[in-house]
Amino acid sequence: MTDAPQLYLVTPPEVDATFPDRLARVLDAFPIACLRLDLATRDEDRLTRAADLCREVAHARDVPVVITDHATLVEKVGLDGVHLTDPRPLRKLRADWGPDPIIGAFCGTSRHDGMTAGEAGADYVAFGPVGATALGTGERAELDLFKWWSEMIEVPVVAEGALDVSTLGDLKEATDFVALGEEIWADADPVAALAARVAALGG
């Protein structure tokens, strides 16, 4: 893999009325391959409002938008697909939707789950967390997993979870995409935070 990984953005867990302006500045500063709505709420009205805000900004810049797990909202609010944190429904969803909507699958640190998701029709497989985080089981997706996947499997791979600058430098030749969320949104200047990570990727 010779090209630098593409950028995949993940929203903060809360999207307020100020977020579209911040999002627009980031999308105008860097080429972004995909935006994922990954909100803490499960309230459909709040999800719909957030989706409307983000979709308008992203689609104006030809950036596709997927939502975490809420597959029933994809068509309703005009999104481009879904990111499944549990890939088990993937095969049926692909059969129901056909080839066009994006279906991504988060597979933790499991090669087996990743391969199963790829065979079921996933457009990409995500592994993580890559960096140290208190979330999840504490198990981390190691560099060797991404190297192996990139050498052996054609389905694009996404690295996500606590991606600091040094980690990105190690990953730049081993993954197709890097997913960045709170790593940049928690910063007062998300464009500058993303710029530092793009530099680490050789972009």
Q: What is the pTM of this model?
A: 0.96
Digit-coded pLDDT (tens) for 12-71: 999 999 999 999 999 999 999 999 999 999 999 999 999 999 999 999 999 999 999 999
For residue 57, being part of any structural domain is answered with yes
| CATH number, domain containing residue 111 | 3.20.20.70
Strand runs labelled E in the chain: 6-10, 32-37, 65-68, 81-84, 102-106, 124-127, 157-160, 177-180
Domain range holding 67?
A: 6-200
In a domain, 1, yes or no: no
Specify if 111 maps to a domain.
yes
For residues 137-162, average pLDDT: 95
Is the pLDDT reported for residue 154 higher than 70?
Answer: yes
As a whole number, mean pLDDT of residues 69-94 equals 97
Number of domains in the chain: 1
Does residue 67 belong to any structural domain of this protein?
A: yes
